[in-house]
Amino acid sequence: MNIEQQPPIVIIGTGYAGYGLAEALRQRDQQTPIVLFTADDGHNYSKPGLSTALTRDRAAGELVTETPLALEERLNIRIHTRCPVYSIDAKSKILSTASGEQRYSKLVLAQGAAPIRLPLQGDAANEVISVNDLQDYRHFRERLQGRKRVSIIGNGLIGCEFANDLANAGIEVDVIGLSAWSMDRLLPQVVGEQLQNRLADKGVHWHLNTSAASVDCIGDGYRLTLQNGEQVDTDLVLSAVGLRARTELAAAAGAEVGRGIKINGGLRTSLPDVFAIGDCAEINGQLLPYLAPINAALPALADGLLGWPTMVQYPLMPVMVKTPACPLTLQAPAADLEGDWHIEQTDGGIRALYIDAQQQLQGFVLTDDLGSERQYWLDRIGCPLEQVA
Ligand SMILES: Cc1cc2nc3c(=O)[nH]c(=O)nc-3n(C[C@H](O)[C@H](O)[C@H](O)COP(=O)(O)OP(=O)(O)OC[C@H]3O[C@@H](n4cnc5c(N)ncnc54)[C@H](O)[C@@H]3O)c2cc1C
């Protein structure tokens, strides 16, 4: 009798979400076949480490924690590296990939997000780089060799982390940002300005309320022309204007997508037996592009894939910003919440509490030594102001 083998669970992506899921599945089950596809070389590394690696003087190869071969052996999984998936036939449960067709029993999209490219003018617009994965970082290090000045387009969290890291490495940095102060979506003005001042002390120049219009070659460097007419000469241009969830594959297969691939509380997409996790996924209209939501989702997804449907419980997920010039710990309030920042300057740093219209604590930012108060304020989220102050 010819008993057909059950097709594997297939995971597209070998980032924190993809490899994390393979680990979580193997902790629960040694036998179910697991196959991963990745467009990159499949080396495991910590992506958050990319924006502190210059300070730590780490070359790209030194950031690798495990090779795909070692992962295949340790976890008893199959990894197809440099093998993009081109399309999903959700009805027949077949993928079309660079190495042919692949059947699946259940499919997980862990495709991450890609850097947004600004529509820049100028003869060097294509030479602007982004650092979103290990290969980008390798390229960045090569291009940085012997260079003294770097311009960063984008004054959000990632732009500020790279500004601090480059400044620590002795590079002169210009940051160009659209908003009036850095990390304006996460920080009140006074904290954003404190961060700018501390980085300015390390040699970072700020060009705010404007954006880059064009990049042209000049000598062996570049000239950036800003929308306010200012010109900045530099050796390298780094773009850090945000990421866009990779939704194309899912959308072409008929899945519901918004800013990300839409999933429910059990990480299911609108397609049968197709799930999504990590930077590519959208839950309740929100993207959650951090490690903590992936950590929260992994056990539930692994259980669900193995036949025990489970809903994810997301805890509060504070963010520690890697700007050692001005250490920041924050719990961002929900984007659509009306409220005001209540600011307190203390000897240990700035304490900013976000209080909503019902006078309840909904978020906070703590600088410097006040970061040690993180748990205290996390425990008081949702509490009335008079009980917390
Ligand atoms: C510089 C930087 C610093 C950060 N710092 C922090 C921090 O301090 N704390 C924090 O919580 N978060 C941080 N983040 C965010 C965090 O790193 C991400 O949320 C997380 O790594 C996303 O993991 P992922 O697995 O969803 O995506 P990724 O790691 O991007 O993995 C996506 C994978 O999908 C593959 N892929 C995509 N499309 C296809 C296809 N069609 N076929 C095959 N393979 C495909 C890619 O090759 C890749 O393997 C940082 C991010 C950056 C860029």
What share of the chain in percent tops pLDDT 70?
Answer: 99
Domain boundary among 305, 340, 359: 305
Tokens read off for 12: 């597209």
The DSSP symbol for 220 reads T
Q: Whose CA is nearest to atom 50 of ligand 1?
A: 48
Are residues 161 and 192 located together in one domain of the fold? yes
The pLDDT of 7-34, averaged and rounded, is: 98
Query: What is the CATH number for 360?
Result: 3.30.390.120
**Tell me, what's the pLDDT at 335?**
80
CA of 290 to the centre of ligand 1 (A): 9
Q: Which atom of ligand 1 is nearest to the CA of 18?
A: 25
320 is a domain residue? no
Tokens read off for 115: 């850097």
**Tell me, what's the pLDDT at 334?**
86
Residue 99 burial (10 A CB sphere; 0-12, 13-18, 19+)? exposed
Pocket test for ligand 1, best of 267, 286, 290 (most atoms within 8 A of CB): 290
Q: Which domain holds residue 271?
A: 9-114+243-305
**Tell me, what's the pLDDT at 215?**
98
Domain boundary among 197, 224, 239: 239
Q: Which atom of ligand 1 is nearest to the CA of 113?
A: 30
Q: Whose CA is nearest to atom 12 of ligand 1?
A: 290
321 is a domain residue? no
User: What percent helix, strand, coil does the chain show, rounded to 5?
Assistant: 30, 30, 40
1 is a domain residue? no
More confident call, 1 vs 276: 276
List, for residues 179-225, the tens digit of each pLDDT value: 999 999 999 999 999 999 999 999 999 999 999 999 999 999 999 99
Binned at pLDDT 50, 70 and 90, residue 14 comes out as very high
232 is a domain residue? yes
317 is a domain residue? no
As a dihedral over the C-alpha atoms of residue 377, residue 378, residue 380, residue 383, rounded to 10 degrees, the angle is 120
Q: Is the pLDDT of residue 3 over 60?
A: no
The strand ranges marked E within 163-313 are: 172-177, 204-208, 212-218, 221-226, 231-234, 236-239, 243-245, 261-263, 274-276, 281-283, 286-287
**Tell me, what's the pLDDT at 384?**
87
Are residues 205 and 353 located together in one domain of the fold? no
The pLDDT of 144-169, averaged and rounded, is: 97
Tokens read off for 264: 């429910």
pTM: 0.96
Are residues 215 and 128 located together in one domain of the fold? yes
Q: Whose CA is nearest to atom 48 of ligand 1?
A: 13
CA of 114 to the centre of ligand 1 (A): 9
Element holding 196 (H helix, E strand) = helix 189-201
Binned at pLDDT 50, 70 and 90, residue 389 comes out as low
Among left, alpha and beta (phi > 0; psi -120 to 50; other), residue 225 is beta
Mean pLDDT for the chain?
96
Are residues 144 and 123 located together in one domain of the fold? yes
Are residues 165 and 252 located together in one domain of the fold? no
CA of 215 to the centre of ligand 1 (A): 28
Are residues 121 and 230 located together in one domain of the fold? yes
Are residues 253 and 287 located together in one domain of the fold? yes
- Decide if 140 contacts 152 (C-beta within 8 A): no
Q: Is the pLDDT of residue 4 over 60?
A: no
Q: Whose CA is nearest to atom 37 of ligand 1?
A: 111
Are residues 286 and 334 located together in one domain of the fold? no
Are residues 47 and 127 located together in one domain of the fold? no
For residue 58, give the nearest of 165, 155, 164, 199 by alpha carbon. Answer: 165
- Decide if 261 contacts 269 (C-beta within 8 A): yes
The pLDDT of 294-299, averaged and rounded, is: 98
CA of 334 to the centre of ligand 1 (A): 23
Tokens read off for 212: 């880059």
Are residues 171 and 224 located together in one domain of the fold? yes
Q: Whose CA is nearest to atom 3 of ligand 1?
A: 48
Instruction: Supply angle C-alpha 281, 283, 286, rounded to 5.
Output: 90
Domain boundary among 217, 239, 261: 239
Q: Whose CA is nearest to atom 52 of ligand 1?
A: 48
314 is a domain residue? no
The pLDDT of 140-162, averaged and rounded, is: 97
**Tell me, what's the pLDDT at 263?**
98
For residue 211, give the nearest of 246, 187, 235, 237 by alpha carbon. Answer: 237
3-state SS, residue 279 = helix
Q: Whose CA is nearest to atom 51 of ligand 1?
A: 48
Are residues 15 and 67 located together in one domain of the fold? yes
2 is a domain residue? no
313 is a domain residue? no
- Output the CA–CA distances (angstroms, integers) from residue 199 to 190, 210, 380, 382, in the order listed: 14, 19, 31, 33
Are residues 96 and 121 located together in one domain of the fold? no
Q: Which atom of ligand 1 is nearest to the CA of 40?
A: 47
Query: What is the CATH number for 206?
Result: 3.50.50.60
The pLDDT of 21-46, averaged and rounded, is: 98
3-state SS, residue 154 = coil
Q: Which atom of ligand 1 is nearest to the CA of 86?
A: 41
The pLDDT of 66-73, averaged and rounded, is: 98
- Decide if 303 contacts 28 (C-beta within 8 A): yes
In sequence order, the β-bridge partners of residue 79 are 36
**Tell me, what's the pLDDT at 311?**
95
CA of 164 to the centre of ligand 1 (A): 21
Q: Is the pLDDT of residue 320 over 90?
A: yes
CA of 313 to the centre of ligand 1 (A): 21
What share of the chain in percent tops pLDDT 90?
Answer: 95
Residue 367 burial (10 A CB sphere; 0-12, 13-18, 19+)? buried
- Residue 248 and residue 226: Cα distance in Å, rounded? 32
For the chain, what is the largest distance between any 2 Cα atoms, rounded to a whole number of angstroms? 78
CA of 226 to the centre of ligand 1 (A): 30
CB-defined site of ligand 1, < 6 Å = 12-18, 37-40, 47-48, 50-51, 84-85, 110-112, 132, 158, 246, 249, 278-279, 289-292, 322
CA of 279 to the centre of ligand 1 (A): 6
Q: Is the pLDDT of residue 2 over 70?
A: no
Q: Tally the domains of the chain.
A: 3
Query: In this structure, which amino acid lies at residue 361?
Result: L
